[in-house]
Chains A and B, each alone.
Chain A
Amino acid sequence: MSEVREYKHGFVTEIDTETIAKGLNEDVIRAISRRKNEPDWMLDYRLKAYRHWLTMTEPHWAKADYEPIDYQDIYYYAAPKSVKEKPKSLDELDPELLRTFERLGIPLTEQKRISGVAIDAVFDSVSLGTTHKEILERHGVVFCSISEAIQKYPELVRKYLGTVVPHTDNFFAALNAAVFSDGSFCYIPKGVRCPLDLSTYFRINAQETGQFERTLLIADEGSYVNYLEGCTAPQRDENQLHAAVVELIALENAEIRYSTVQNWYTGDREGRGGIYNFVTKRGKCQGRNSKISWTQVEAGSAITWKYPSCILQGENSVGAFYSVALTHDRMQADTGTKMIHIGKNTKSTIISKGISTGHSVNSYRGLVKILPGAEGARNFSQCDSMLVGNRSGANTFPVIEVKNPSAVVEHEASTSRISEEQLFYLQSRGLSQEECVSLLVNGFCKEVFKQLPLEFSVEAVKLIEMKLENSIG
Chain B
Amino acid sequence: MTTNLMKAAKSRLDNLLPKASLPERRFRERAWERMEKLGWPGRKSETWRYTTLAPVERHGGDPVAVVPELPASLESRLTSLESDFIVIRPGAKLSSPQFTVRDAEFTSEYLGEDAVSNLSAAVAWPGTEIEIAAGAEVSKPLLLVKYQQAEAGWRSAFHRVVVNAGAKVQVAELLVGENVPYLRTDLTQIKVADKARIHWLRIQKEGLKAHHFSETQIELNEGSGFHFTQWNEGAGWVRSQILCELRGRGAEANVQGLTFGSSEQQIDQRVVVSHHSGETASSQLFKGVYKDRSRGVFNGKIYIAQDAQKVDSKQLNQNLLLGPGAEVNTKPELEIYADDVKANHGASVGRLDEEKIFYLRSRGIPPEQVESLLSQAFVTDVIMKIPDSGLRRLLESVDGF
CA distance A397 to B346 in the complex (A): 12
Q: Is B347 within 8 A of A402, CB to CB?
A: no
CA distance A391 to B329 in the complex (A): 32
Q: Whose C-beta in chain B lies nearest to the C-beta of A365?
A: B333
* Given A389-B339, A403-B327, A396 contacting B345 (CB threshold 8 A): yes
Residue among A61, A397, A412, A415 making CB contact with B331, cutoff 8 Å = A397
Q: Is A415 within 8 A of B341, CB to CB?
A: yes
CB distance from B14 to the nearest CB of A (A): 36
CB distance from A397 to the nearest CB of B (A): 5
Q: Is A387 within 8 A of B336, CB to CB?
A: yes
CB distance from B283 to the nearest CB of A (A): 14
Q: Whose C-beta in chain B lies nearest to the C-beta of A390?
A: B339
Q: Is B324 within 8 A of A411, CB to CB?
A: no
Chain A interface residue count, Cβ-Cβ cutoff 8 angstroms? 33
CA distance A398 to B346 in the complex (A): 10
Q: Is A405 within 8 A of B340, CB to CB?
A: no
Which residues does chain A contribute within 8 Å of B324, judged by CB atoms? Answer: 405
Which residues does chain B contribute within 8 Å of A389, judged by CB atoms? Answer: 339
CB distance from A159 to the nearest CB of B (A): 34
CB distance from B348 to the nearest CB of A (A): 5
Which residues does chain A contribute within 8 Å of B332, judged by CB atoms? Answer: 396, 398, 411, 413
Q: Whose C-beta in chain A lies nearest to the C-beta of B331?
A: A399
Chain B interface residue count, Cβ-Cβ cutoff 8 angstroms? 36
CA distance A20 to B270 in the complex (A): 51
CB neighbors of A among B333-352 (8 A): 333-351
* Given A402-B321, A411-B346, A395 contacting B327 (CB threshold 8 A): no
CB neighbors of B among A412-433 (8 A): 412-417
Max chain A C-beta neighbours (<10 A), residue from B322, B323, B340: B340
Is the C-beta of A452 less than 8 angstroms from some C-beta in chain B? no
* Given A402-B329, A402-B349, A390 contacting B334 (CB threshold 8 A): no
CA distance A436 to B351 in the complex (A): 43
Q: Is B340 within 8 A of A400, CB to CB?
A: no
Which residues does chain A contribute within 8 Å of B350, judged by CB atoms? Answer: 407-410
CB neighbors of A among B138-183 (8 A): none
Q: Whose C-beta in chain B lies nearest to the C-beta of A413?
A: B345
Q: Whose C-beta in chain B lies nearest to the C-beta of A394?
A: B336
Q: Is B349 within 8 A of A415, CB to CB?
A: no
Q: Which residues of A contact B (CB under 8 A)?
A: 61, 370, 385, 387-403, 405-417
Given pairs A397-B333, A415-B341, 13 additional interface contacts (CB within 8 A): A388-B339, A390-B309, A394-B334, A395-B333, A395-B334, A395-B335, A400-B328, A402-B327, A402-B349, A410-B350, A413-B344, A416-B341, A417-B340
* 10 pairs of A and B residues whose beta carbons are closest in the complex: A405-B321, A387-B339, A396-B334, A415-B343, A408-B350, A402-B349, A409-B349, A411-B347, A414-B344, A393-B337
Write 18 A-B pairs (CB below 8 A) sorted by A numbering.
A370-B349, A390-B338, A392-B337, A393-B306, A393-B335, A393-B337, A394-B336, A396-B345, A399-B331, A405-B324, A408-B351, A409-B350, A410-B348, A410-B350, A411-B346, A411-B347, A413-B345, A413-B346
